[in-house]
Structures are given as C-alpha cells and as structure tokens.
Amino acid sequence: MLHGHAVATCMGFGAYLSWKHCDWISGDQCLRICQLISDLELSLWHDVMDDKEIFHSCTKKMIQKRGGNLAAPLPRGDIGSVGYLNDITDAQLSQYVDEYKSYVTKENSTFARNGYGVEPLLDDVGLGDTALEATAHVRAEIACDKKNVVATDSASSEEKKEDIDDANTAEDNRSKSYQ
C-alpha cells in the first residue's frame, strides 16, 4: 500500500477510536474527518486491517518503539487538537477494527468506493507488487517474536542468574579499565 493511503487508514481509524473508545470527538467530527479522507480519494480501509495477527503485532512493535506506550495520536476536542491513547486491549482493538470496517465499507455507506481509495497499491501506480513479500516478512517477525517469548519463558532462573552475574562482571571490568 502506498504510504499516503496507509496513513489515511490510520487517520480514519484513529478518528473512529477517538469517537467510540475515548469519547474525545463527536460522531459528526469523525464523519467530517473520514469524509475528507474519502473526498481526497485516499483509503479509509484496506483488507490487511482484517488480519488481526498482523494488526496486533504491529501495535506491539509501536509500543516497543515508544518506550512502552502506545502513544497513538488521536483527534481530541476541536479538530486540529490532539490527545494520546495509551490504554486499549487487543480485544478492544479487534472489536473497534470490525466496527470501523462496517462504518466505512458498508453498502449504504456515505463514503465513496465503500471506503476504498483510488490506486492505493504500489502495483496500481506501476511500482510492482510487494504485498506478498511484505506480508511474509511480517509473518516471519511474528514467528521469531513467538519463538523468543517461548525461549525466554523456558529459561531457568539459574540461567537468568548467570546472565546477571556475567553482566555485572563485564560492568566491573569496564569500570576497572577506566580507573
């Protein structure tokens, strides 16, 4: 998906979360934001958002990159003002994604093209189709993350103690070399 379309899907979904989850904006404000995105022929929805495993994995990576906080910027109050969402569960995200899909893609939706953008994919503009490669990469990261969690969980407390002792010894050696 082209970057602008990907950002637009996040902006539309963020407006929906701000309205439904946070109660920071009204339904009319959410509609206004989503209508503008649609009028610009950008995407409000892409079917990759249906893949909850990828969706949640990407959310977890955002939290890791942001010091343990989701820090999702959402409209708050007047359009143009912002608040940051930190507290939402995977179950709530899944529920809101499903609701948002219905909001923007239903047949009687007020949004053109049922929420889909015009030429949203790289292939649409002659840049080649990388979706399969990108999806395979994300799935490999998910598998690696799962493997690391299992390996971490199965490590004995003795191994963890040895790791801490090794780290302390290394720190002591560095301290001595600077004296």
Q: For 118, list phi and psi in degrees, rounded to 5.
A: -95, 125
> For residue 179, is pLDDT > 70?
no
Mention every residue, 6+ apart, whose C-beta is less than 8 A from residue 40. Answer: 8
Confidence category of residue 86, pLDDT binned at 50, 70, 90: very high
Report if pTM > 0.85: no
> For residue 54, is pLDDT > 90?
no
* Better-scored residue on pLDDT, 134 or 178: 134
Residue 49 is inside which H or E element, if any?
none
Say if residues 15 and 33 touch (Cβ distance below 8 Å). yes
90-94, 110-114, 167-171: least confidently modelled range: 167-171
Give the pLDDT confidence of 96-120 residue by residue, as tens digits.
999 999 999 987 678 999 999 999 9
Neighbours of 69 (CB within 10 A): 13
Helix 90-105 with 52-65: angle, nearest 10 deg: 120
Q: Which two tokens stand for residue 80?
A: 């143009």
